């Protein structure tokens, strides 16, 4: 990497849908030096386009030319990546949410404070010119005492399966509401509805009650016939509407409505709306500039770690409220919190199994005797968890996976679609565990790619990747990456051949005896032949 980069030097980690926007913006600001993404071809293309380099995470964290990182990876990785960057002495911008668990976010904030680095959370709308003008109106008392706030964020898409609408859309709205109220709510109640993916609400309404301020609600949905992004603030002396779908000359409008009394009858007195003049600007550019200014000057970001924590606490409370909801049965009796059928109507959960709150399970999945699915875990559709299986916390399991008896899939392990885990196989997440030494901050990630098989009593040491359709033989001990389609045996595991998609060992002709499909080697990697 370059040693004579820009004044700050930013590396963007995660080049997906939103990460590309961060890459573009930091490049336009002259501060982009590197991009990081597991899809190396994506990272290389973006690096070429914006005059940066494609690098891996370890190199970025070790490079003194990179003083700051911007994290736009999947939400489940935010805390882990932010913590690693902070410990490497980097300033950190992390997209919302700061973490999926309050405890993890608190750890990141404490580490940033101890390291003396800037930590900023990407609550984008706090940098929108219309919202900044609205905050100024409230601070100057133009609307009087705040009475009621509400925010609608509605659209058709972008629909997700890995996080529900509350976590996908609502952080921006909650961030704005907390900033306007100037305090955290003392009561959070959320209700939601699920239509597309079991356990993943598509529509939620969250009600907030503040101890000495206004009431508020947030309505979010990705199943709405039109786009609406509207924040309404009702005060004793006026009302304001921030409508981000409108043109710049109508994004922020104040209404000096009033109420008069005819005897004891309140009568509304309506007034024409007064558009507030705004200077058009891109919120993302303003947000990134703010981060760079805070890094250079040592000032506290508008949306610092503490602000991210406040939003996360409300999100977690809302999620808990969703999980605790007790819909009434037709006879008027509550379903009760232990009613697994009510929580997962398209999932079989044996009566001896236990599923924590904040768990998502796809339709057709079966959880058998004495198994435990911990909080923050997502399990796909048509999976089978055998007896005495433990999954989580915070684990992602794809569709059509088979996890046999006596297997524990720990935090840090990800199973893609179609993975088979044989009886009593073992995953680790710490390289050198001690019972008397806490190493929760040293967890190493393990990724098992689509269609891979792990045999009975095999051990997978953490920190490695098992490639697509690889086959780990029974009793093997994996101590390194396993290539796609490789057959590995022994302790430590070594490759002795290749396996087809159907799980058949390939001979020298590289033809699957079951399907007849032909494979070929390309640079030491197995792939289907073009005529296969």
Per-residue pLDDT of 472-531, as tens digits, reads: 999 999 999 999 999 999 999 999 999 999 999 999 999 999 889 999 998 889 999 876
Per-residue pLDDT of 126-155, as tens digits, reads: 999 999 999 999 999 999 999 999 999 999
Q: For residue 165, what pLDDT is reported?
A: 87
The angle at the Cα of 168, spanning 167 to 174, to the nearest 5 degrees, equals: 60
Query: In CATH, which superfamily holds the domain spanning 10-117?
Result: NAD(P)-binding Rossmann-like Domain (3.40.50.720)
Structure tokens given for 368:
């058998």
How far apart are alpha carbons 336 and 485 in whole angstroms?
47
Per-residue pLDDT of 321-352, as tens digits, reads: 887 654 433 344 444 434 455 577 788 888 88
Confirm if 151 and 234 have CB atoms less than 8 A apart.
no
Per-residue pLDDT of 94-121, as tens digits, reads: 999 999 999 999 999 999 999 999 999 9
Name 528's bridge partners: 519
Q: Do domains 10-117 and 126-280+315-321 have the same CATH topology?
A: no
Q: For residue 337, what pLDDT is reported?
A: 38
Per-residue pLDDT of 198-227, as tens digits, reads: 778 889 999 999 987 789 999 999 998 999
The angle at the Cα of 297, spanning 296 to 300, to the nearest 5 degrees, equals: 110
Confidence of residue 48 (pLDDT cuts 50, 70, 90): very high
Cα atoms in the 13 Å half-sphere on the side-chain side of 75: 22
Q: For residue 358, what pLDDT is reported?
A: 86
Angle separating helix axes 305-324 and 165-181, nearest 10 degrees: 120
Average pLDDT over the chain, rounded to an integer:
90
Indicate whether 1 pLDDT > 80: no
Q: For residue 331, what pLDDT is reported?
A: 41
Distance separating the N- and C-terminal Cα atoms of the chain:
41
Q: Which long-range contacts (CB under 8 A, 24 or more apart) does 130-134 make?
A: 130/242, 130/244, 130/251, 130/252, 130/276, 130/278, 131/176, 131/231, 131/242, 133/252, 133/276, 133/278, 134/180, 134/231, 134/233, 134/240, 134/242, 134/252
- What average pLDDT does this structure show over 420-440? 88
The angle at the Cα of 371, spanning 367 to 373, to the nearest 5 degrees, equals: 80
Confidence of residue 452 (pLDDT cuts 50, 70, 90): very high
Question: What is the three-class DSSP state of 68?
Answer: strand
**Domain 126-280+315-321 fold:** Dihydrodipicolinate Reductase; domain 2 (3.30.360)
Confidence of residue 164 (pLDDT cuts 50, 70, 90): confident
Confirm if 36 and 67 have CB atoms less than 8 A apart.
no
- What average pLDDT does this structure show over 63-76? 94
Lowest pLDDT segment from 253-257, 341-345, 376-380 = 341-345
Confidence of residue 57 (pLDDT cuts 50, 70, 90): very high
Indicate whether 443 pLDDT > 90: no
Of 477, 457, 456, 522, nearest to 466 (Cα)? 477
Q: For residue 342, what pLDDT is reported?
A: 57
Pairing of strands 273-275, 252-255: antiparallel
Question: What is the three-class DSSP state of 114?
Answer: helix
How far apart are alpha carbons 204 and 47 in whole angstroms?
38
Q: For residue 325, what pLDDT is reported?
A: 58
Domain positions in the chain: 10-117, 126-280+315-321
Q: For residue 327, what pLDDT is reported?
A: 43
Confidence of residue 429 (pLDDT cuts 50, 70, 90): confident
């Amino acid at each position: 990497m370059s040693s004579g980069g820009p004044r700050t030097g930013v590396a963007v980690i995660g080049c997906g849908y939103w990460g590309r926007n961060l890459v573009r913006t930091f490049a336009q600001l002259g501060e982009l030096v590197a991009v990081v993404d597991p899809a190396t071809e994506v990272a290389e293309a973006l690096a070429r386009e914006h005059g940066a380099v494609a690098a891996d995470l370890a190199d970025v964290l070790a490079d003194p030319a990179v003083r700051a990182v911007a994290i736009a990876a999947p939400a489940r990785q935010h805390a882990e990546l932010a913590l690693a960057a902070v410990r490497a002495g980097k300033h950190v911008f992390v997209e919302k949410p700061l973490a999926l668990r309050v405890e993890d976010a608190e750890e990141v904030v404490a580490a940033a404070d101890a390291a003396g680095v800037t930590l900023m959370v990407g609550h984008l709308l706090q940098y929108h010119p219309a919202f900044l003008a609205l905050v100024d109106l409230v601070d100057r008392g133009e609307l009087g005492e705040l009475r009621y706030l509400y925010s609608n964020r509605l659209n058709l898409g972008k629909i997700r399966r890995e996080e529900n609408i509350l976590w996908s859309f609502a952080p921006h709205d909650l961030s704005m509401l907390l900033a306007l109220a100037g305090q955290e709510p003392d009561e959070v109640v959320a209700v939601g509805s699920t239509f597309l993916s079991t356990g993943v609400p598509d529509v939620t309404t969250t009600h907030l009650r503040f101890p000495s301020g206004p009431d508020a609600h947030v309505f979010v949905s990705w199943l709405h016939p039109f786009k609406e992004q509207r924040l309404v603030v009702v005060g004793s002396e006026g009302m304001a509407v921030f409508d981000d779908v409108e043109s710049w000359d109508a994004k922020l409008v104040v209404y000096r409505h009033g109420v008069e009394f005819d005897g004891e009858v309140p009568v509304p007195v309506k007034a024409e709306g007064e558009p507030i003049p705004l200077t058009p600007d891109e919120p993302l550019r303003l947000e990134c500039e703010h981060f760079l200014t805070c890094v250079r000057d040592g000032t506290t970001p508008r949306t610092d770690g503490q602000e991210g924590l406040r939003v996360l606490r409300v999100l977690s409370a809302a999620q808990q409220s969703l999980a605790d909801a007790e819909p009434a049965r037709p006879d008027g009796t509550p379903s009760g919190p232990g009613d697994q059928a009510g929580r997962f109507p398209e999932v079989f959960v044996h009566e001896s199994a236990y599923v924590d709150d904040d768990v998502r399970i796809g339709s057709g999945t079966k959880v058998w005797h004495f198994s435990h699915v911990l909080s923050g875990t997502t399990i796909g559709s048509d999976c089978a968890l055998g007896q005495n299986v433990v999954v989580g916390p915070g684990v992602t399991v794809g569709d059509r996976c088979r996890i046999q008896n006596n297997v524990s899939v720990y935090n840090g392990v990800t199973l893609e679609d179609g993975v088979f885990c044989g009886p009593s196989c073992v995953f680790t997440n710490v390289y050198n565990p001690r019972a008397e030494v806490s190493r929760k901050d040293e967890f190493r990630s393990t990724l098992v790619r689509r269609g891979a098989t792990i045999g009975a009593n095999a051990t997978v040491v953490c920190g490695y990747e098992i490639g697509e359709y690889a086959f780990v033989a029974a009793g093997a001990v994996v101590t390194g990456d396993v290539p796609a389609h490789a057959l590995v045996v022994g302790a430590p595991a070594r490759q002795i051949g290749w396996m087809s998609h159907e799980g058949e060992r390939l001979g020298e002709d590289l033809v699957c005896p079951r399907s007849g499909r032909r494979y070929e080697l390309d640079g030491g990697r197995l792939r289907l032949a073009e005529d296969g």
